[in-house]
Structure 1
Amino acid sequence: MQFRYDINGLRAIAVLAVVLFHFNPHWLTGGFAGVDVFFVISGFLMTSIIFNGIEKDTFNLFKFYTARANRIIPVLAVMSVVVLVFGWFYLLPTDYKALGKQVEKSLIFTSNILFSEGGGYFDTNEKTKWLLHTWSLSVEWQFYIFFPIILLIFKKYLSWINLKRVVLGLFLLSFIYCIYATYKDSKTAYFLLTSRAWEMLCGGLAFLYPISIQKTKFRIATQVVGLSLIVASYFLISENMAWPGYLALFPVLGAYLIILSNYQNNILINNPIFRYVGQWSYSIYVWHWPIVVLGVYLSFSNWWIYGIPLSILLGFLSYQFIEKRKSPTFNSWKEILKVKPFYMFLIIVCCGYIVKKTDGMDFHYSKEILNTLAEVENSNPYKCDSGLRAREFEECKIGNQNNVKAIIIGDSHTDSLTTAVAATLDLKQQGVVSIATSSCPFLLNIKFYDSKNNCSAINQKRFALIKSRKYQDVPIILISRLPSYIEGQNDPDRIGLEGTEPAIYFGNKQKMSRDEVYALVSKDMTETLCEISALNPIYVMQPIPEFPLNVPKTVAKNQLLGINTPISYSYESYLKRSDKIRQIIKNSAQKCGVKVLDPAKILCKTGQCLSEYKGRPIYRDGDHMSEYGNKLLSPMFKEVLKD
């Protein structure tokens, strides 16, 4: 095929959009659509290679695969080695283990499946995944594997015309499935071949069903329309829209029209800058994302100023010294041992696997870092936690149940503080009952938009237990993370999983403003406290300070990087997030004769909320106190139980 300057320029337009979007999404809100443009280009080129070979009866599947491997694997392998070496020195073992898994999956081209199990491509915490961008390479490679095999199978039974119709049929099936899958679960649909194949097949249709446009002015017009569709998608589409779905038609159709026009002399596409960037586009794409993550990981401000030029420079160097190195292609599977990328593949996959299996090679980290990270797993040791995890109602009984001194009810914050209450008692003589279910505060009328959250039914069982007078006159302590249900998550590690919008409603499931939700929480809080305080002594605890980061991981990272700056979270910031709930608890408690416990008096008494105590983290993430840290609150509970 004659060199297509328009396609080379299209590559430049695609990769620059992706790079700009990743460094600053506000510049090009739909810049991620550049990947869709790449898919169309790949589909066009691969279809032309396969069908030309089939038509001439010269197509060789092994030669096709080795040519693709020579093109893709060397740059990917070198980048993976560089990131693994960096990780050895600068990543925590948990992060290094995750990187090892990503390297392994990216080199066997299944990383798209790995990332489809995460929070979604656009979620904040995805910017900590060093090889997230390899999902598209995995999709392309999977297409390269299956597409020629399907065609070779059908070739035995179908005519040339019908073989082309197979491609058209696959295009329609994938497009229809894409719309359905995006509507059902766009986070998963984003990554998978089944919902992306139509984009590559659209490029294939541009080759199989070419429309000959004779007049230059019509070719220019077609190309301009295509460019307009792509540019419009870059500016008008955003990560808040379900993707890929039918909206992906805009950049895909734009790329299709540009390829179809086959006009080479448009200065907007064929210019010196785009010629070079187009040549380097694959390498730029492979290197730019780890550079983005580097800036996030090291908290560099205005990183784009350095990151974008560095991405282009590395793309140029990678093209010159890796991509341009010609590797021979082979015709027989017997010659696989002569294929150099095969050895790169084996070595890097093994390295990734070893890093993963050795827990990030944790043997080479200091004891201080490992002890700090151990706080992540330092949770309630009492194993009656089926209620917490299986969303069941369960009385977790601790100590002497013939003399129960306290009942603790609430969500996972209840679970994380259970032993702080138990530590105030002689468990041989006294006992505690913990009734905890994650994401289930004790409010009688609360419901969750998540249909899997059966908190309402669990609360009815909790209320029935109290009314049964089984624990008559035993103090009940209510603990929950109420701000998160209204304000949403504030920990970047969990924002993508749980969102930032209110998760609860009362009665009418229609979405409400936060002020409306707060008003209903206030009403339900009063009703709940007044009803149960008539039966037992009630104590309700104000919210625990929530850090917008994972405390033990951040402390360990600072230890690794030699950063001595303590993690701070001001009492003022705590109030900004929690003050409305604090006022609701205070007012409702006053109306119902209920006593209020305030952990901030202990944790934030200096104006800065504690994240560490005596050099050790007191949280196991951003908001759950660890078994070490929760004992700081034992004196507060001791006052409750002293009688």
Structure 2
Amino acid sequence: MQGLRNDIQALRGLAVLVVLLYHVQIGGVEAGYLGVDIFFVISGYLITTLVAAGIQRGDFRLADFYLRRAKRLLPAAYLTILLTALLAPWFLNRQELHDFALQVLGSVSFTANMVLWQQTGYFEGASDLKPLLHMWSLSLEEQYYMLLPAALLLLRRSWWKPAVLAALLISLGLCVLGTEYKPVATFYLLPTRAWELLIGSIAALLVTGHAQPERLANAPLLRLLFYPALLTLLVLPFYPVQASHPGPAAFVICLATLLVILRRHAGLEQLRLTRGFARVGDMSYSLYLVHWPIVALIKNAWVGPDGALPLPLRLTALLLAFAAAYPMYRFVEEPLRRAQLRWTAGALAKTAAVSLLLVLIAPLSLYATRSSVDFQQIRKVNFGFDAACDQNAPYTAKPECSSAPHPKVLVWGDSYAMHLLPGLLALPELGGVAQATRSNCGPLLDVGPQRLLNPRPGPVYDREWALQCMEFNRAVLDAIRSSESIKTVVLSSPLSQYTDGTKWINLVAGDAGITAAQPALSQAAKSLLATAAELRAAGKKVVLIAPPPSADFNIGACLERRLSGRIALGGYEGCEVPLDIYRDKRAAVIELLDAVERGGLEVIRFDRFLCGAQSCKTQIDGTMIYRDSGHLSHEGSRLLARQMNWAQHIR
């Protein structure tokens, strides 16, 4: 492409390839998400170069700038959204289709990062099932493009570099703080990600403001750091750092990108390998746009074990991405980018009409595909009484989290305690039920589960969170001790956070203070039995309700797809849980349940009721028992409470 630097196009090609290979999980590119960080620096550099040069020439106009942006970005993006929306009803379940409608609105309005931020959480759908998840980065860039030109127009040229540097440092500082306290918001929002684009902007101002750019490119420091920077770009995506993203790896990859851009190495631009990456870079925008909806739609259709697509499906997604990207680039992106268009009332009206049509497609799909079975209602989140009962602050007894002024039963635990409430409330003989719950925080005294930090976006439970869990449980115990009405305490949790050393570490309070330890069955059993002993010492009866059988696939999604006729790939017969797989996948939890039973703690176990010789049931009399991979549906909870006669164990 004439007028474009080969080395920058090659960087684009590298960035999109590592993102693509990361998403299809091919090639061992474990930190391929860093490709987005490379894109951010490139975008900041190119846009700032364009704006600064135009202002210096005296011919920069905001209207012209936004017209070029619209021609460059909207046609391919709108076509991607349209095609995804047409396919969505065949691939997405009802809740995912509802979320998709909001993702379309966010994509069209350049607020997808904010929409997706709100769709992230423990009870929200998995991020890799959202077909427009990747639009967050494009929305963030567009927000930057809205602010940067106006800022440069308003500021004196002598203030450009100091102002951009100050903004960079402020954004970087917010990012450092945010990854500690608000990791999800930090990942998605402009104030905490702008520093990456601002690094590119600084590079652009250094070049455009330099009397002799060639001398800058040949500065001794740049010559010294160029090859280490290039090696970093090629190697770092293969070596993920166990840290929240954006973190140190993002900072290093952004600096490496900055150094390569500033160096503008003539030899690098002429390499055949560089030219090959540059050709991929030419269609990087189209490839980035189309690849993720393809991956996400296939992942939605996959109902097999472990949530991981088998290699044939991943290869199919990879090939489809390139097959769709080239014609998008060749026949949509390039022709319209070069088209001679002007802002007119007619053009604005057509753009608005197309935008409105896109926004309406997903809601219309929801309406058109409605059925007599409301799967969204069947699979709705089960908070127990209310979302307010999933407490993040230190525990306090809330009136809305109790069915009676003086309840006789208290349910204590995490989301696996929440899903018991519909069933318990269907048993009036219990004499009133109260709820003390916090997601991921099981009812084990003096042990705090801490999710291992990881580079992917999503919830990151750090040391502070684990300490708050321990504090929460102590507050619940104090409330139980002071309550005269509560006679029985029902404990519940999946317990995997106390036995799975691949995803969790635990904080344990002991004589030596609070220390980190690998999850261990012996420690979990000791803590559970100690918790039960404390409750008995307070004069309370204690019952543990075990987690239902599961096997690392989304049972609720599988049932919905089978019953609604949506595309379903893989999976087990009837969406039942094979008994041997359940025993293998949940071996540590099953052993823990056996251990606490031997220690004298009464356990209500679903597997003894649901599992036969070969498999464990996921439906009874046409009722879906599960809403997802392990949580009970509302009706499933009520059905099991009656058929298993929970009341006789709890009263």
TM range (shorter): 0.7 to 0.9
Contact 1:108 1:349 in 2 (8 A): no
Letter in 2 for 1:5: N
Contact 1:376 1:620 in 2 (8 A): yes
Mapping for residues 37-436 of structure 1, pairs under 5 Å: 37-119=38-120, 125-154=126-155, 158=156, 160-210=157-207, 211-213=213-215, 224-238=227-241, 240-266=242-268, 267-268=270-271, 271-299=274-302, 301-302=310-311, 303-325=313-335, 326-330=338-342, 335-339=343-347, 343-344=350-351, 346-352=353-359, 355-356=362-363, 361-368=366-373, 370=374, 372-377=375-380, 387=389, 391-393=395-397, 407=409, 409-411=411-413, 412-418=415-421, 420=423, 427=428, 430-436=429-435
Distance 2:372 2:170 in 1: 55
Task: Report the equivalent of 1:501.
Answer: 504
Distance 1:322 1:74 in 2: 7
**Which digits, 9 at most, give the CA deviation of each residue in 1:585-615, with x for residues without a partner?**
55545555x5443332111133411111233
**Aligned partner (choices 449, 455, 463) of residue 481 of structure 2:** 463
For 1:511, what is the secondary structure of its paired residue? strand
Shift of 1:415: 4.8
Contact 1:42 1:203 in 2 (8 A): yes
Mapping for residues 428-447 of structure 1, pairs under 5 Å: 430-439=429-438, 442-443=443-444, 445=446
Contact 1:546 1:622 in 2 (8 A): yes
| Residue 582 to residue 8, structure 1, CA distance change in 2 (3 Å) | closer
| Aligned-residue CA RMSD (Å) | 3.8
**Which digits, 9 at most, give the CA deviation of each residue in 1:169-197, with x for residues without a partner?**
33343334433433443433222222333
Distance 2:201 2:535 in 1: 67
Shift of 1:419: 5.4
For 1:509, what is the secondary structure of its paired residue? strand
Shift of 1:270: 6.3
Task: Report the equivalent of 2:23.
Answer: 22
Distance 2:25 2:192 in 1: 27
| Residue 442 to residue 432, structure 1, CA distance change in 2 (3 Å) | farther
Identity %: 23
Distance 2:535 2:159 in 1: 73
Task: Report the equivalent of 2:34.
Answer: 33
Residue range with higher mean Cα deviation, 177-186 or 442-451: 442-451
| Residue 462 to residue 580, structure 1, CA distance change in 2 (3 Å) | farther
Contact 2:551 2:586 in 1 (8 A): no
Distance 2:383 2:140 in 1: 42
Is the aligned partner of 1:602 residue 2:573?
no
For 1:437, what is the secondary structure of its paired residue? strand
| Residue 487 to residue 354, structure 1, CA distance change in 2 (3 Å) | farther
Shift of 1:127: 1.0
Shift of 1:639: 8.0
Contact 2:416 2:492 in 1 (8 A): yes
Contact 1:415 1:434 in 2 (8 A): no
| Residue 327 to residue 609, structure 1, CA distance change in 2 (3 Å) | same
Letter in 1 for 2:330: Q
Shift of 1:58: 0.9
For 1:3, what is the secondary structure of its paired residue? coil
For 1:84, what is the secondary structure of its paired residue? helix
Shift of 1:481: 1.7
Contact 1:13 1:34 in 2 (8 A): yes
Mapping for residues 475-554 of structure 1, pairs under 5 Å: 476=488, 478-487=490-499, 500-502=503-505, 505-507=508-510, 508-515=513-520, 518-530=521-533, 532-533=535-536, 535=539, 538-546=542-550, 548-554=552-558
| Residue 253 to residue 42, structure 1, CA distance change in 2 (3 Å) | same
Distance 2:518 2:225 in 1: 46
**Which digits, 9 at most, give the CA deviation of each residue in 1:14-66, with x for residues without a partner?**
22122112211662222222222222222222222212211121111100011
TM-score normalised to the size of structure 1?
0.82
Contact 2:442 2:495 in 1 (8 A): no
Task: Report the equivalent of 1:496.
Answer: none
Is the aligned partner of 1:560 residue 2:565?
yes
Task: Report the equivalent of 1:495.
Answer: none
Contact 1:380 1:627 in 2 (8 A): no
Structure 2: state its 5+ residue gaps. 208-212, 303-308, 450-464
**Which digits, 9 at most, give the CA deviation of each residue in 1:387-426, with x for residues without a partner?**
565853369776999xx9x735333545544554565x6x
Shift of 1:322: 0.7
Contact 1:409 1:434 in 2 (8 A): yes
Shift of 1:236: 3.1
TM-score normalised to the size of structure 2?
0.81
Q: How many residues align?
A: 602
Contact 2:500 2:519 in 1 (8 A): no
**Which digits, 9 at most, give the CA deviation of each residue in 1:484-513, with x for residues without a partner?**
441469xxxxxxxxx941566444432211
Distance 1:379 1:197 in 2: 37
For 1:514, what is the secondary structure of its paired residue? coil
Distance 2:286 2:522 in 1: 54
Contact 1:397 1:431 in 2 (8 A): no
Structure 1: state its 5+ residue gaps. 490-498
Distance 2:169 2:444 in 1: 49
| Residue 237 to residue 184, structure 1, CA distance change in 2 (3 Å) | same
